[in-house]
A and B are shown apart, each in its own frame.
Chain A
Amino acid sequence: MSEKPITGEKRAFMTGNEVVAWAALAAGADIMYGYPITPQNEIMHYWTRQIPKYGRKFLQTEDELSAGFTTVGGVLAGLKAFTATAGPGNTLMQEPLSMAEMMRLPVVTVVQQRGGPSTATVIYSQQEVTLTTLGGNGEGMRVVYSPSNHQELFDYTIKSFNTAWKYRFPTFVLGDGYQAKMRESVTLYDPEEKGITFVTPERYVGKPGTPGVDRDPGHYRNTYNTEEELFEVLQQHFADFEKMAPEVIEYSQESVEDADVIIIGHGVVFRGVRDAVKELREEGLKVGYFRPITLRPFPAEQLKALATQGRKLLIAESAQGQLARLVKDAIYGATAEIVPMFRPGVGITTEQIVAKVKEVL
Chain B
Amino acid sequence: MSVSPQPAMPKSWRVESKPHKFCPGCGHGLVLKCLGEAIDELGIQDRVVFGCDIGCSLLSWDFFNCDSVQTHHGRTTPVMTGIKRANPDLICIAYMGDGGGYAIGIGGIVNAAARNEKVTVLLANNTVYAMTGGQMSPCTMPGQKVETAPYGRDPEATGMPTQGPEMISAITGDGAYVARGTTANMRQLKGYIKKALQTQMEGKGFSFVEALAACPTNWRTNAEKTWAFVEKEMPQYYKVGEKKNPFEEKKEAQQNG
Contacts and interface: CB of A to CB of B under 8 A. Distances in A.
A73 B82 contact: yes
B86 A77 contact: yes
Which interface class (under 10, 10 to 19, 20 to 34, 35 or more) fits B? 35 or more
A74 B83 contact: yes
B78 A81 contact: no
A207 interface: yes
B78 A61 contact: yes
A33 B82 CA distance: 8
Interface string B1-33: 000000000001010000000000000000000
Interface in B60-93: 61-62, 64-72, 75, 78-87, 89-90
Interface string B30-59: 000000000000000111010000100010
Interface in B110-168: 110-111
A218 B82 CA distance: 17
B78 A65 contact: yes
B108 interface: yes
Contacts of B71: 69, 72, 99, 222
Contacts of B111: 61-62, 66
Contact of B86 (A30, A61, A96, A207): A30
A206 B79 contact: no
B203 interface: no
A65 B108 contact: yes
Given A70-B78, A70-B81, A211-B45, A206 B70 contact: no
Contact of A211 (B67, B83, B89): B67
A59 interface: yes
Nearest to B119: A73
B107 interface: yes
Q: Which of A70, A218, A220, A223 has the most C-beta atoms of chain B within 10 angstroms of its own C-beta?
A: A70
B86 A218 contact: no
Contacts of A71: 82
Contact of A73 (B61, B70, B83): B83
A81 B69 CA distance: 17
B70 A70 contact: no
A298 B12 CA distance: 47
A223 B69 CA distance: 11
Q: Which of A78, A207, A221 has the most C-beta atoms of chain B within 10 angstroms of its own C-beta?
A: A221
A310 interface: no
A72 B64 contact: no
A77 B66 CA distance: 14
Contacts of A65: 75, 78, 107-108
A253 B245 CA distance: 66
Interface string A292-322: 0000000000000000000000000000000
Contacts of B45: 210-213
Interface residues of A, number: 40
Contact of B82 (A74, A210, A217): A74
A358 interface: no
A211 B66 contact: yes
A30 B58 CA distance: 30
Q: Which of B14, B68, B72 has the most C-beta atoms of chain A within 10 angstroms of its own C-beta?
A: B72
Contacts of B14: 212, 217
B108 A66 contact: yes
B206 to A, nearest CB: 14
A69 B82 contact: yes
Given A205-B69, A212-B45, A223-B54, A74 B86 contact: yes
A218 B61 contact: no
A357 to B, nearest CB: 47
Contacts of A95: 72, 75
B81 A73 contact: yes
A57 B83 contact: no
A76 interface: yes
Q: Which of B14, B46, B72, B86 has the most C-beta atoms of chain A within 10 angstroms of its own C-beta?
A: B86
Contact of B79 (A69, A79, A213): A69
B116 to A, nearest CB: 13
A76 B68 contact: no
Contacts of A351: none
A194 interface: no
Given A70-B85, A71-B82, 20 more contacts: A30-B86, A31-B86, A62-B110, A65-B78, A66-B81, A69-B78, A72-B79, A72-B82, A73-B83, A73-B85, A74-B83, A78-B86, A78-B87, A204-B67, A205-B83, A206-B87, A212-B45, A219-B61, A220-B68, A223-B61
Interface of B: 12, 14, 45-47, 49, 54, 58, 61-62, 64-72, 75, 78-87, 89-90, 107-108, 110-111
24 contacts: A33-B85, A62-B108, A66-B107, A66-B111, A69-B79, A69-B82, A70-B82, A71-B82, A73-B78, A73-B79, A73-B83, A76-B86, A77-B86, A96-B72, A99-B75, A206-B87, A210-B46, A211-B45, A211-B66, A211-B67, A212-B45, A217-B65, A220-B70, A221-B62
